Each structure stands twice: as structure tokens, then as C-alpha cells.
Structure 1
Amino acid sequence: MSSPISIAILGAGIFARIAHLPAIRELGDVYQLKAIYSRSKSSATELAKTAETSLALPEASLAIYYDLGGQDGNLEALLARQDIQAVIIALPITSQPAIVVQCLEAGKHVISEKPVAPTVKDGIKLINTYESVYKPRGLVWRVAENFEAEPGLQAAGKAIAEQKIGKVCFWNYQVLNNVNTDGMWYKTPWRTVPDYQGGFLLDGGVHSAAALRTVLPSPLQQLSGLASLNREHLAPHDTIHTLIRSKDGSHGLFELSFGLPSSAGGGDSFRVVGTEGILLITKFNKPGEKEGESTQYIKVQITSAKDGSTEEIIEKTCGVKQELSSFAAHVRGQDDGLGKPLRALQDVAVIQAALNSNGSVVDLTKLIEESQ
């Protein structure tokens, strides 16, 4: 068995606590967490304490670093440590590209949270820098897009690729959310007043764009859409409606909103219609043993047009665990293709095109090419 990969977590926010730490715990000896960095001492200390409990580590065993930590306690000091091989970056969207480069320059392998960058142009610049400077040095950079890694969505994509519903004709993907001012995600300061396009539509919407490319068999090619703001606290936009055509000629409707007035009526529904059947993807929760706990599952239902028979695939959501497992394998020389920055760039292109289309047709390939 390979030795654990020694890592640090950069960013002490909600997702590091509720997603990265449980995934590291479930992966067992794959990773060895050594340090936490955050902009403030208090948030770094808090996450370190949570991590020590979650991972059954000795008290005060994790080193903490923060912006005012002095020469021996800031991010530069963390990155100078030779005993840390890789970093997980979960920082505000506009901060991440520069930090990705800083970590690569320090010789660390990097997995950074989605989106790959705030804009397509920023993403292209970052990817070109990695490909020309750091990839030749043997350094690995991956984008943490957990929807791409979800077994349920991968199973749906595999079923469609195997033509279990025949040739794809059209599809409809509806993702409806309610984000209130008292929600934990909204209370994050950099989300409350976003300095990046689309607000929650970019931050959360790239997940849905990743689901599209994971499930559908042909690359998305053209998009026409409208964006709007329906709840003032979610400025600059909270809703997009788009019509998208794929390279193979199939087309569909992508509806995404974070602006529902209540949680009633929300949720995800992804229906793909083919010449020989229909594939439907939904999500559901099962209550856990403790009060208030639940486990989410993805259900894929395939209905044959020939005889009406159905096949069901049910997978527990575990995308963060899968993406971190994939990253570790890639660091060790085994590339399964997950988390490639160029693919994550396509997700940003979908959201950016939807925000700026105003009803006009946007060529997604040209959008990326013209941003170089």
C-alpha cells in the first residue's frame, strides 16, 4: 500500500468542514492532513479543532496558518514545508486562481474547488499557465467538481452512451433552489456581496453544467438564454433559462434558479428522451440515525419505449470522496480523467453564456476560443 499523501487544506469555510473532512476520513489512509490555512486565525483554529475530532487526531496536532500569522505562520510558511505534498483549495472564487499558481510555484500538487475561475478568460489564462509551466514539472492540478464524480450521474451517462434509450432526441434539466438570507451558504460574506459574475448562478450553477456534460453524450455547442434577478438579496442574478443544442443536433432546456420564494416545489429533475426510451434522474434523501441527519441518493430510472419496462440505478451521493480519491490516484500517476481543468472551463462557459446571451445565440466553442 502506498504511503498517505500529506496535505493541507486552504480555506476554513463551510464546505471544508461538511464535505472535505468527512471525505478525507472515509478515504482512510489515502491522505494525512497536516495543516490548515485560513485568512483569519479564529477560522483556521476552529477548523483544525473540528478536523482533529473528525479524523481522530491528537489535540493541537494540526498546524494552523493565517494571513497575520507572521513569517512563520502565514501561507508562504505553509507552502515552504517540504513535508506537505498537496493542497486542497477552498477559498473565495476570485482569490483562487492566484493561490493555485502560488501553490504550484511552491511545488505542491493542487486540487481547487470549482469553478475553475471567475470567467472563461481567467480560466484560459490559468490553464495555459499550468500547461506551459507547471505540468512539465510533473505537478498535478485538478478542479474539484463533485457532480462530475457522482456515481449516479456517471451511471446515467454510461447508460445513454450504451444507447439504452437509443439516440438522444431532447432533454430537460430543471434545478430549482431557495436561498434565504438566513441560510448558511448565504451568510458567507463573499457570497453575500459577490465580486464575480452571476452570484450563486456561477458558484452553484457550474455543478449543474457539469451534470450536463457528464450525462449527455455530445458536447454542448450553442446556447440562447435569459437571466433575471427575482430576489434582491441574490444580486446580480438568481435565475437563468436556456435553450441548448449539442454537437449531435439534440437539444434541451436548462432551467436554473436560486430564487424560489420557498423551498416548496424545489429540487432537481433531469429527463433525457431518446428514440427508444426515456431516462430520468432525480434525487432523494433518507433519514439518518440521528435527528436532523439524512443521506442523499441519486436515482436513475430508464424506461423502455418498446415494452414499458423500467430499470433503476440508485447510488449514494459521494462525489467529494470520489474526486479526492481520483486526485490521489493522479498524484500517483493514474489518471482517470476526472477534474480536468479544461472540462471545468466548459461549465463556466455555459453559465457565462447564459448570463450574457440576452436571447442571442452564443457559440460555446467560440466563447472559449475567443477568450484566449
Structure 2
Amino acid sequence: MRDGKVGVGLIGCGVMGKSLATHLRTIEQAELVAACDAVEEVAKAFGSEFGVWTTTSLDELLSREDVDAVLIATPAYLHAEQTVAAAEAGKHVFCEKPMALTLEDCDRMIDACRKNNVNLMVGQVLRYFPIHAKVKELVDSGELGRLLCLTIYRLGGGFTGVWAKEWRKSKALSGGMLMEVNIHELDFLRWVGGEVESVFAVGENFLHPDCDYPDCVIVTLRFRNGAIGTLHASQVSTAGDYGGRADCERGSLLFPKLWGGELVVQTEKGQQVFKAEELSAENPVRRELREFVESIVEGRQPAITGEDGRAAVALALAVYRSIETNGVVKL
């Protein structure tokens, strides 16, 4: 680190990379010093926009002494190799979700970071949305009693815009809808509900014949603590929607929006409402990056570890296996 700041290199200068870079620049303890993209025109355009050195060579970026950590914002099939290379170069790693597409690759990433004594954080950003964080806090507090049922749904209207890129149409490259989009909801279910014992899922590809994976999935989960969970994930919904609820022994938590909105706590005593902007005004992406930077400065593990990222991938793979076998899959 120079002048108490973590020098950061960005790997992948696309839409997500630009978002990460924009928020990183607002964090006082970090400095974006370099960026890398395989497409020269993209790298140069990013360098002009953000005023940093760029390259098309990952090795060149990792060889820079002023790069203490990297943010990986590339397609999922590249995450494992890039994470291992960064760890072996002594760089801390923030890897966008999904962590990887196989458990073997997740294990390689975890092992490489552990052996080289660098941090590994996975971008499961839903944990930093204020409403979702409050749900976790209230469930963990036990003030509403034992968690009974946990439900979340995320319904989109199709793979358009940035989601229409060719690599996202391939399950082998993107992991499909469950990995590329709904890994967030799967992580949230495990984060709030606890470790998952088994899943049963059904899924179909209704409207996207150019994609080799389901565009609509409904999942039932049984948690090890006895609670039940459900996920409805879709890209076939003309009227897109997002929401969820947690039903406990002595009350229910209702959260109807991803961005902003409010959390309604309903008990026999009445209703309490928490507004997102009153819980936290900090952007969730900035919050997760701040956690990554602070974990490096403070010499501790980040709040979301490689093991957390692996568990979300394991859950997604179990859902796919259940769809393929039409049976219950135990984790």
C-alpha cells in the first residue's frame, strides 16, 4: 500500500467493471491504479474515461508493484484462472458472482488464496441491500421466534441489452440464469435461512430457444434447522416483479422491492415499517467494496468469503441437478 491506500487493479472493463470502478473511486482508502481487458479498444476507452493505465495482458497488470488487490469483473468461466493467477502474484481478490461454475474451480480459488495469504471476497451484493440486511438482523435476533418459511422471487422480462451477449446464452460459459442472475437470491436464502439440507426444483425454457438452460425455475428448499424456503426465478415475466417474505413464529417480514422500498414487520402487536433510505443511504456496491478494502487494511477476512461463494454455487448446481433428475437433491 502507498500512503495508506490499497492499490487496485480492475480485470474486465465492461459494464460491471465500470460500475465497480465508479464506486471504488469514492472510497478513501483505495485507489484504482490499473485496468485490464482482453479487447484493446475496450481497455483504451476505459483508460481514457477513468484516467488509469490499461493493458490487454493480465500478466502485465499482476506484475505491477502498485497493485495490491484486484477486482475481477469478467465472464464467470474466466474467474477461476484469473483468481488463481492473482493469488499467486500476491494480490488480494474481489471476484464478482458467480464465484465459478464448478465446485472444483471454487476449491482451486480458495486454496490458492489461502496458500498465498491473500483475501478472497465474492460479490454477493444482496447482503448489503439495507432491507435484506435488516431481514437478516431481525431473523438472527430471535425476537420474532423461530424462522418457519422464507420466500423470495425475482421475475424479469427476458434477456435483453447487456444480458443478450452470446456468452450469456451458454450454460457452460455463464452458468445460466441461476448462476448469472439468481445466485444472489440463492445466497440470500442460505444467509438468512442457514445451511440447506435439500432442494427440489422444476424448470423450463419457455421463451429463449437460443439459451441452453431454463428461463423459469421454481425451487423448494429444506434448511437443516427445519425451516422451508422457496425461490421463483424467471425471465419470462412481462410484468417483472421482485419481493419476498420471512414468516417466523411470532411475526412476518415483508420486503417487496429490490431497490429502495420498505420492510414491513407484522406481529400481533401491530405493524412496524423500516424504509430503505433510513436504514442506509450507502450504495450496496460501494458498501461491499468498502468491506473488501477495509478487510485488507485491517488484516482480517472479509465478511463474504470464498467459502460463502462456493456454497452458493453448490446450491445452484443442486437446483440444476434436481431439475434434470426430477428428484430431491441433498447437499
If the length of structure 2 is used for normalisation, what is the TM-score? 0.91
Do structure 1's residue 125 and structure 2's residue 125 form an aligned pair? no
Is it true that 1:353 corresponds to 2:318 in the alignment?
yes
CA distance in 2, matches of 1:155, 1:298: 13
Matched, 1:83 2:46: no
Whether the 8 Å CA contact 2:36–2:58 is kept in 1: the answer is: yes
Q: Tell me if structure 2 keeps the 8 A contact 1:167–1:274.
A: yes
Deviation at 1:97, TM superposition (A): 0.4
Aligned: 1:112 with 2:107: no
- Check 1:225–1:140 CA distance in 2 against 1; reply closer, same or farther (3 A cut): same
| Equivalent AA in structure 1 for residue 200 of structure 2 | S
1:184 is aligned to 2:162: yes
Matched, 1:318 2:283: yes
Q: Shift in Å at residue 252 of structure 1?
A: 2.1
Task: State the distance in 2 between where 1:322 and 1:334 align.
Answer: 18
Is 1:208 paired with 2:207?
Answer: no
CA distance in 2, matches of 1:123, 1:22: 27
Q: Deviations over 1:316-356 (max 9, x none)?
A: 57221111111111112353642201011111112111111
Alignment-mate amino acid for residue 205 of structure 1: N
Kindly state the Cα deviation for residue 208 of structure 1 after the two structures are TM-superposed: 0.9
Q: Which residue is equivalent to 1:151?
A: 130
Sequence identity (%): 22
* 1:45 corresponds to 2:12: no
Partners of 2:318 and 2:330 lie apart in 1 by 9
After TM superposition, give the deviation of residue 163 of structure 1 in Å: 2.4
* 1:227-247 Cα deviation digits (max 9, x unpaired): 221122333222211111111
User: Is 1:160 equivalent to 2:139 in the alignment?
Assistant: yes
Cα deviation, residue 303, structure 1: 0.8
Q: Against the structure 1 CA distance between its residues 26 and 152, is the aligned structure 2 distance closer, same or farther, given a 3 Å change threshold?
A: farther
Give the Cα separation in 2 of the matches to 1:36 and 1:166. Answer: 48
Alpha-carbon distance in 2 for matches of 1:134, 1:334: 14
In structure 2, what is the Cα distance between the partners aligned to 1:34 and 1:282? 39
Q: Which residue of 1 aligns with 2:24?
A: 24
Preserved contact between residue 113 and residue 143 of structure 1 (Cα < 8 Å): yes
Match of 2:296 in 1: 331
Whether the 8 Å CA contact 1:299–1:313 is kept in 2: the answer is yes
8 Å CA contact 2:24–2:30 kept in 1: the answer is yes
Question: Against the structure 1 CA distance between its residues 197 and 82, is the aligned structure 2 distance closer, same or farther, given a 3 Å change threshold?
Answer: closer
How far off its partner does 1:119 sit? 1.7
Query: Does the 8 A contact of 2:159 with 2:235 survive in 1?
Result: no
The 1:119/1:317 distance shift into structure 2, 3 A limit, reads farther
| Structure 1 residues 336 and 151: CA distance shift in structure 2, 3 A | farther
Give unmatched runs, 5+ long, in structure 2. none
2:185/2:231 contact within 8 Å kept: no
Gap change, CA 1:141 and 1:9, over 3 Å in 2: same
1:361-372 equivalent positions in 2, closer than 5 A: 361-364=328-331
**Matches of 1:302 and 1:233 in 2, distance apart?**
42
- Following TM superposition, by how much is the alpha carbon of 1:146 offset from its aligned partner in structure 2, in angstroms? 1.0
Distance in 2 separating the partners of 1:184 and 1:23: 20
The answer for the alignment partner of 2:196 in structure 1 is 220
> Of residues 264, 283, 287 in structure 2, which corresponds to 1:301?
264
Tell me what 1:71 maps to.
none
Asked whether the 8 Å contact 2:122–2:306 carries over to 1, the reply is yes
- Aligned match for 1:141, one of 105, 120, 142: 120
Question: Retained in 2: the 8 A contact 1:167–1:275?
Answer: yes
- Whether the aligned pair in 1 keeps the contact of 2:76 and 2:175 (CA below 8 Å) is no
Q: How many residues align?
A: 324
**Structure 1, unaligned runs of 5 or more:** 53-61, 67-73, 285-295, 365-372
Q: Is the 8 A contact 2:77 2:174 kept in 1?
A: no
Residues 40 and 236 of structure 1: is their aligned pair in 2 closer, same or farther, counting only changes over 3 Å?
same
* d(CA) in 1 for partners of 2:204, 2:103: 21
Question: Are the counterparts in 1 of residues 260 and 275 from structure 2 also a CA contact under 8 Å?
Answer: no
CA 1:129 to 1:3, structure 2 compared with 1: closer, same or farther past 3 Å? closer
Q: Following TM superposition, by how much is the alpha carbon of 1:87 offset from its aligned partner in structure 2, in angstroms? A: 0.9
Q: Is the 8 A contact 1:146 1:320 kept in 2?
A: yes
Give the SS at the match of 2:138: helix
2:250 matched to which residue of 1? Answer: 276
Aligned CA distance change for structure 1 residues 272 and 30 (closer, same or farther; 3 Å): same
Aligned partners of 1:268, 1:30: CA distance in 2, in Å?
Answer: 34
Q: Which residue of 2 aligns with 1:229?
A: 205
1:211-268 deviations in whole A, cap 9, x for unaligned?
Answer: 213333x3222111122211223332222111111111110221111233x2x1x221
